Chain A
Amino acid sequence: MKVEVTTKRKFQELKEQEIKKQATNEQEGLDSESSTFQNTAEDVQRSKPLNPELVQAASAVASSFPRSKEQAESELLAQLRRHEETTDKQRRGGTINIRNVISEMAVKRQSPAQRGVRISNRISLEMDEDGQRIKPGRSSSRSFDSGRSLKAGKRLNIFTKASPETENTLKTVSSPTIWDLEFAKEIAAVTEQPPRNGFEEMIQWTKEGILWEFPIDNEAGMDDGAEFHEHIFLEKHLKDFPKQGPIRHFMELVICGLSKNPYLSVKQKIEHIEWFRNYFEEKKEFLQEI
């Protein structure tokens, strides 16, 4: 039964760490209690009386109970002794019959963690090579698994929480690789649902750019950077032209036409006017003659 001993020892190592750290916490105190059962069971092999450390721990736990402290303490110590006896017996006896052990222990108050630990020990004892499950033990596990809970339990103690600064420094910015892109696609596909009504369909189409955005903006897609008044009110560009006369008349008509033109950008319109200015400058001599 080499398997049994080694796994038991492993669990105990884990628990021993716990005991050292959390001796005062009530909930954890109970945990350590249960673990010290196993721990001291082995210790006791070497020395018959109960471990004084254990007794201290028991009294600490009992003192943290809200009521009936002495009773709790005596109960715990009695339990320890009982457990030590039975493990003694079994060690010498050879055949391990968990059912007898547990039925002998008439424990009134048992924390879920205790039960969970006991179950895990039991499972470690019965842990075979894979695929071979022990049938008879299984039925009695039903009564005990109800105690397993997610709230009470010990952690693996492998990782430590990194402080936020180290987290930031560890994050190196790199362009997303193909793995990242495909993973993002997979994640998005988990909650992708077809639209449930017409409005949701329109929402989807708007996101893809197929449907126009409401309220309708008739300048969508045309990003000129210029407001509408810069397109229409082009009078200010006529500053350099004479204030009266046929040229002015002509330029005002040009401006009227340009203001109605939706296809040119503001820059192009100004260029048009500039071109006219240059043209008339050149022809100034001819015009002066007129």
Chain B
Amino acid sequence: MAARRVGVSSWHRVLSLSGRCGRCSSTNTALGKTVENSEDAREEIVLPRRKTWDKLAVLQTLASTVKRDPTAAHYMFQDDPYLMPRNSATARLFSLSKESGRNAAKYIIKEFPHFFDKILAEPNIPSLMPEICTPQIEGVSEEALKERINLRMVKASVDLFDQLLQAGTPVSLETTNSLLDLLCFYGDGESTQEKESEEKEDLEESEVNASEQETPKRPPQRGSHPSASRWRENNSAERIFKIMPERNAHSYCTMIRGMVKHGASAKAYDMYTELLNDRHKADVHTFNALITAVPFLKDRFLERWELIKTFLNHMAQQEVQPNVRTFNAVLKTLRRCGGVGRSMAVPVIKEMEALEIEPSLATYDHLLSIFYRTVDLAPSGIISEVLDDVEKRSFTPQDPDDGKFFISAMQVCCDLKDIKLAYRLNKAMEKGDNWKFLDMDRLNLYWSRFFSLLCMMEQIDVVLKWYKEMSPSLFYPSPKNILDLLQALDAANHLEMIPSVWEDMKQLGFSKRRDLLEELLSLMSRDQQPEEIQLAFAKCAEDIKTVHEQSGKDQAPVEWTGSALGSVTVVFSRAGRTQDAWSMMEHFQQINRIPTDLVMDEFLNCAKQTNSPDEAIKLVKLAVSLGLPSSQKLKSRVEKEFELSENQKKALESIQSDSDSSDSDSDHD
């Protein structure tokens, strides 16, 4: 009956409705539909053109309204407050563990797909379904070989290829070339094996980076071949290459690229000469690979440059157009060419300009490392020009080395101690999509260096403003940063902020680091401070004392050093906490250290203020037992300044007689 009711009269209305709210399309073309409503046709109703939005438009608009919260950690950690990272090491650990959890889940789905066949989602979500990894085509044929190559099964493809050859069926050149591609890329290892070893290397490298974060120079390059597998003598790729009945340029090129990738540079060069002998033309990627292998072929700087020029000339002869990666490879090799690099870098850049190739961030990174290799050569001309170029553009990634630019630029700014350049660099980084080039480790390093520079060069209020803004949302201060901050506070005479710095230190997990503790304590104990600050310092010192005394499971307690102990005593004394100060003094003997004169004097002052002559006498006893030269002075001071009862006077006298005898055996320390 419903069908009958919807009669012809409202057919038009239905059409107009369908025109307006049919299925939304995900294309961006604006479909213009003006539909006239024929029923109420008294006035022309012109409906506006319908806009179609991208499926992500709403979400992107919403995302653009959310700014960074300076007090919160990164979004990926916001799950459980207990699991929020407190310093950079834990942040890296947590993000890696999150990623590894995802990988573990993917692995389970891949290995046991039969457990997941009842999952039905409508509409189906292909990215969450297990992927098909087993080849469907059986039998010995070229199609089967192609399928296995597509599935990246290295060993299976090689076996199948051998079987095909034994059976006598010729394999087409194209398929052989794609098999060679696969073999050269993976270098005889399996594809999953390479991924695992890469991940392990990433973890190791990140640990190395964490410990080397403090060194101003970047950690030494690991060589230009990141893949650990080496090119074995006469492996499958070479074998297949030799038995190929005919080879074209692609075969040579892929062999060269594979050899360079896996460290057999000399062989790559020989292969290249073979290619020339066969009068083939190499492609631009092969030349790029050869140029990156130049440092392994020659040792002397001039010879390296000559070889690079030879390759470039060959490129020009074979009419192969260079691209941005060619020039990046040239500059990368020039980094290892010392003085030649410095003189030839500018002509290379001019060549790029002449060919109208836009430099990528990696280009600028190589330039900076060429010209700013040692701290002595410091022309600031190059970096400001580089910054001029970088500020104008928003970059897209074109080279895997692009991400290193911001860090090396910030390092250069720190070496040059130029804060204005650093601000410019910061602005350039925040422009457009440039911030994406800094992943989490690099981000931390970048901001850590920037903060050190700020502490050195800027006023304290600017420093504190940046500090509040940046941590903990953008970066986690490193121990060096905290030291710099303390020094900046000292320089600006703002020592009252030290207790809050101590709180931050505890939160960051640096409370057991001896260098920081020393610095903190020495700053606290250096001068006499007004009353409240002194009390705050005393509380702080008490905290530190507990840190030294507690020992967590499997952790040895932090050992006291003489200066630390002395500083704590001084702080306690100045705050008038005599008992605490005395217990500190007793520690001295335990660790076999001698308190300085300052410590003794302060203690006496404190005892005088709190009117405890017993303590004073105990101090003199201690000084005498340690055989200090100042014990005599102390004794006389006690006699003069304190009101002593009879017993105490007698006790004081008796100490003196001890002192004569203790002089002789004062070498027991």
Contact = CB atoms under 8 A, between A and B. Distances in A.
Contacts of B76: 194-195
B110 interface: no
30 contacts: A123-B340, A123-B343, A127-B302, A127-B340, A139-B376, A141-B377, A145-B378, A150-B349, A150-B385, A153-B347, A155-B353, A155-B354, A156-B309, A156-B312, A158-B351, A159-B316, A170-B319, A188-B397, A191-B437, A194-B76, A195-B75, A196-B66, A199-B63, A206-B56, A209-B125, A213-B24, A214-B58, A227-B22, A229-B14, A233-B6
Given A146-B379, A155-B350, A193 B436 contact: yes
Contacts of B382: 148-150
B385 A151 contact: yes
Nearest to A216: B24
A192 B639 CA distance: 75
A103 B348 CA distance: 31
Interface of A: 3, 7, 112, 116, 119-120, 123-124, 126-127, 129-130, 133, 138-139, 141-142, 145-151, 153-162, 167, 170, 177-179, 182, 186-188, 190-203, 206-210, 213-215, 217, 219-222, 227-229, 232-235, 252, 255-256, 259
7 smallest CB-CB distances across A and B, nearest first, come from A221-B123, A199-B63, A155-B350, A120-B343, A153-B346, A191-B436, A145-B379
B515 interface: no
B16 to A, nearest CB: 12
A134 B417 CA distance: 26
B556 interface: no
Interface of B: 1-4, 6, 14, 18, 22-24, 26, 55-56, 58-60, 62-63, 66, 68, 74-76, 95, 122-128, 152, 178, 181-182, 185, 254, 257, 285, 299-302, 309, 312-313, 315-316, 319, 321-322, 338-340, 342-343, 346-351, 353-356, 367, 371, 376-382, 385-386, 396-400, 402-403, 433, 436-437, 439-440
Given A162-B319, A179-B181, 18 more contacts: A142-B376, A145-B379, A147-B379, A153-B349, A155-B353, A179-B285, A186-B400, A193-B436, A194-B74, A195-B75, A196-B74, A200-B75, A201-B75, A210-B128, A213-B26, A220-B123, A221-B122, A233-B3
B3 A255 contact: yes
Nearest to B77: A194
Contacts of B55: 206, 213-214
B18 to A, nearest CB: 6
A158 B313 contact: yes
Nearest to A113: B346
A153 B59 CA distance: 48
B522 to A, nearest CB: 36
B377 A154 contact: no
A259 B182 CA distance: 54
Nearest to B99: A194
B59 A150 contact: no
A121 to B, nearest CB: 9
A199 B316 contact: no
A179 B397 contact: no
Nearest to B185: A178
Contacts of B125: 209-210
Contacts of A150: 346, 349, 367, 382, 385-386
A170 B319 CA distance: 9
A153 B376 CA distance: 23
A148 B396 CA distance: 28
Nearest to B76: A194
A158 B320 CA distance: 12
Contacts of A170: 319, 321
A177 B178 contact: yes
Contacts of A129: 300
A190 B403 contact: yes
A138 to B, nearest CB: 6
Contacts of A155: 347, 350-351, 353-354
A198 B56 contact: no
Contacts of B74: 194, 196
B292 to A, nearest CB: 14
Nearest to B355: A161
Contacts of A227: 18, 22
Contact of A196 (B56, B75, B122): B75
Given A116-B346, A123-B339, A148-B371, A202 B376 contact: no
Contact of A161 (B68, B95, B354, B440): B354
B669 to A, nearest CB: 47
A154 B380 CA distance: 21
Given A153-B347, A158-B312, A159-B351, A146 B381 contact: yes
A215 B54 CA distance: 10
A180 to B, nearest CB: 9
A187 B360 CA distance: 12
A217 B321 contact: no
Contacts of A252: 1, 3-4
A84 B56 CA distance: 71
A119 B60 contact: no
B18 A228 contact: yes
Contacts of A167: 321
Q: Quick one: which of B6, B56, B339 has the most chain A CB within 10 A?
A: B339
B327 to A, nearest CB: 10
A40 to B, nearest CB: 22
Contacts of A235: 3-4
Contacts of B351: 155-159
Contacts of A160: 316
B255 to A, nearest CB: 12
A238 B535 CA distance: 97
A219 B23 contact: yes
